[in-house]
């Protein structure tokens, strides 16, 4: 099934998928996080449908505000650590405001239900030709058997490089962690090293 970015139609498609599994649970607008988790559980093993439903769900119910600072309530520092933090935050119309932190956290929750194993979060920093930090971005890394995927905003990629190229980056450094906050903490020494040759040695396998 190709999932739509029309909100009403997406919910109808969710109901159809549930019915295909003899599940008559009522699905409201918006569906609950547990219902969306269940949808991805039903999609386990159907990668094309997983990709489609992932993008469609996020586009229907969340709104990315580019270049705007977003504070998540209750998390470690200013980073997002749970889906519930996104749902408690700002709304515009009938969509929750979100940034790359929130996208990555939700992605991990949903793809786990679809059979993927969480690997790590990547905290990437774009750098210019003078090795100055220009921007930052969070990517979630997950694995299924021999396949590794990189979840960036509302899309799924097959490499870190392709996920960052999609947002216009071609030069970057990064750190990793088991939480968004941990990945951010690990980035601090790299920022302190900016301009030094030791920084170059920190760039490892994900670049290739």
Residue 100 belongs to domain with CATH number: 3.10.620
Residue 44: name the closest of 98, 104, 112 by CA.
Answer: 112
Q: Return d(Cα 52, Cα 43) in angstroms, integer.
A: 11
Residue 86 lies in a domain: yes
Residue 80 phi/psi, 5-degree rounding, is -90, 130
- What are the CA-CA distances from residue 54 to residues 10, 106, 153 (Å)? 11, 10, 10
Would you give per-residue pLDDT tens digits along the chain (208 residues)? 889 989 999 999 999 999 999 999 999 999 999 999 999 999 999 999 999 999 999 999 999 976 667 777 765 656 888 999 999 988 999 999 999 999 999 999 999 999 999 999 999 999 888 778 888 999 999 999 999 999 999 999 999 999 999 999 999 999 999 999 999 999 888 777 665 433 443 443 333 3
62 assigned to some structural domain: yes
pTM confidence score: 0.88
The number of domains in the chain is 1
Q: Look at residues 81, 62, 61 and name the one whose alpha carbon lies nearest to residue 71.
A: 81
Bridge partners, 133 (sequence order): 127
Within a domain: residue 137? yes
Q: Is there a domain that residue 2 lies in?
A: no
Radius of gyration of the chain (CA): 18
Question: Which domain does 132 fall in, by range?
Answer: 7-207
Structural domain contains residue 1: no
């Amino acid at each position: 099934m190709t999932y739509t970015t029309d909100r009403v139609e997406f919910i109808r498609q969710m109901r159809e998928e549930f019915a295909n599994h003899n599940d008559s649970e009522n699905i409201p607008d918006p569906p609950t996080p547990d219902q969306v988790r269940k949808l991805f559980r039903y999609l386990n093993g159907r990668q094309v449908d997983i990709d489609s439903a992932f993008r469609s769900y996020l586009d229907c119910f969340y709104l990315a505000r580019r270049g705007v600072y977003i504070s998540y309530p209750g998390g470690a520092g200013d980073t997002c650590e749970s889906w519930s933090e996104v749902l408690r935050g700002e709304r515009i119309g009938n969509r929750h405001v979100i940034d790359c932190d929130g996208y990555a956290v939700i992605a991990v929750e949903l793809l786990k239900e679809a059979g993927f194993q969480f690997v790590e979060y990547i905290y990437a920093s774009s750098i210019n030709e003078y090795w100055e930090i220009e921007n930052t971005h969070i990517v979630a890394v997950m694995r299924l058997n021999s396949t590794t995927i990189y979840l960036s905003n509302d899309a799924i990629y097959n490499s870190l490089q392709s996920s960052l190229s999609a947002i216009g980056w071609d030069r970057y450094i990064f750190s990793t962690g088991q939480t968004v906050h941990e990945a951010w903490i690990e980035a601090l020494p790299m920022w302190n090293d900016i301009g030094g040759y030791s920084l170059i040695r920190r760039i490892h396998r994900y670049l290739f």
